[in-house]
Amino acid sequence: MTAPRIYLFKIITSRDEVVFGLRPAELAALDGADAAAIGRKLVAEGSLGVWQYAVRRAADGTLETAPLRLVSILAHDSMRIEPYSSPLPVVAE
């Protein structure tokens, strides 16, 4: 089994939910490969730039989870970050 090209996470706040992806190298730079490492980074630096992921149609008409836009996540007291597993294929680019 090969390592995923993108690890997906979901941020849940009182207002909305956002799915975002990080490459293995980006996770390694956080000194961890889980939601807790992302949380520590947000507390330490206040924000984190990530790619938001959303469902789209591939060229062949099938659905896939793919990057939508670059967003900034800001640290907030009432935020939860958790791993996200897409039922669809995940596209890195």
- Per-position pLDDT tens, the chain of length 93: 455 689 999 999 988 999 999 999 998 898 888 899 999 999 999 999 999 999 999 999 999 999 999 999 999 888 899 999 999 999 987
Task: State the residue range of the domain holding 77.
Answer: 7-83
- Phi, psi torsion values for 90, nearest 5 degrees: -105, 125
Residue 51's DSSP bridge partners are: 21, 70
Establish if 70 belongs to a structural domain: yes
Q: Is residue 89 part of a domain?
A: no
90 in a domain, yes or no? no
On whether the pTM is more than 0.85, the answer is yes
Count of the separate structural domains present in the chain: 1
Is 45 contained in some domain?
A: yes
